[in-house]
Amino acid sequence: MSSSSTEKVLNNDLKSPQRVLSIQSHVVSGYVGNKAAVFPLQLLGFDVDVINSVHFSNHTGHPGGIEGDVLGGDQLKSIVDGLERNGLLRDIGNVLTGYIGSESFLRAIINLLKTVRSNNTDSTVRYVCDPVLGDNGEFYVPPELVSIYREELVPLANVVTPNQFEVEQLTGIRVRSICDAKKACKALHDIGPELVVITSAVLDTDDVNKSEEVKEKSISIIASKNCNGNSGNEVWCINSPILSGQFTGTGDLFAALLLGWSTKDSGDLPSTMEKVVGTMYSVIKRTAESSGDTVASRELKLVQSKEDIERPPILFKARRI
């Protein structure tokens, strides 16, 4: 085979929406950030190129603190320059971002997106943005990053996956009911993303607790797809029982699974939701059942959940709202 033929074969191998560039945190021990996202994506058939925004010994939930390094915006730019010079930004189908802790790195992500898309003008590069800001009323990042997300990064996203706290920060809408959630999703649609998924919300009203599968107190997962005004937004909800315990990396895992199944099941939003939530519930339940008194014992049981990632159990049904 000639060198030109070999190069053509290699280029064709890379040309796939199954190729993901994931930019998130990394820990040596545990499962958060890229450690929670890459393995599931690979099991679902995706090639994943990885940029670690931080390289830490462990996540911040451990009592002994952390050690490690933080990647700066200039360093990210240097890495992207190297990838671009070698033609390695071509044929990326998806970009996934998670925890970003500084303004300089956030702005470097904006430039990275523009660079990746300029290297793939003949195809769509889908951007899945997990806007990691905080949870349970507390910020994980400097609050001034909210406006940068809202005004500059989220408008570039095709998919955005905030939790309840994050969607409230991004939209200024207090989410306590299905009606509130719909308003918040519309507000995000209006600035860019086609698909908005509120990954977890505990709502005051009981209109979300009517499903046959869930009788106890539940969290709601709400997905809204912008139909460009043809028939209104397509909005679906799944309720899942609340499992006791505090587990890190769940949002990172959710965003990765959503990217995977929304690519594989393109156009079938309820099926995507049911698969993502089925896997999430199974992983968290398995983790809860084997966890003890230590933080390390509560790390997500991803490897043990390989089958549930590859063949998600359909435990809860999506309903259109």
DSSP state letters, 287-308: HHHH--SSSGGGS---GGGHHH
Given the residues 91, 130, 180, 252, the one annotated as active site:
252
Structural contact between residues 221 and 265, judged by C-beta atoms closer than 8 angstroms: no
- The partner residues of 16 in beta bridges, in order of sequence, read none
In the residue annotation, 252 being an active-site residue is answered as yes
Question: d(Cα 164, Cα 196) in Å, to the nearest integer?
Answer: 12
Joined together, the tokens standing for residue 293 give 């008194």
**Closest Cα to residue 203, out of 224, 186, 222, 225?**
222
Question: d(Cα 71, Cα 75) in Å, to the nearest integer?
Answer: 6
| Other beta carbons within 10 Å of 242 | 14
Question: d(Cα 106, Cα 149) in Å, to the nearest integer?
Answer: 8
- Which residue's entry shows tokens 């690979």? 42
DSSP state letters, 171-198: H-----SHHHHHHHHHHHHTTS-SEEEE
Helix, strand, coil percentages for the chain (3-state, nearest 5)? 40, 20, 40
* Beta strand segments in 218-299, E: 218-225, 234-241
Question: d(Cα 106, Cα 265) in Å, to the nearest integer?
Answer: 30
What does the DSSP 8-state code read for residue 228? T
Rg (CA), the chain: 19
Question: d(Cα 224, Cα 226) in Å, to the nearest integer?
Answer: 7
Q: Which residues carry out catalysis? A: 252
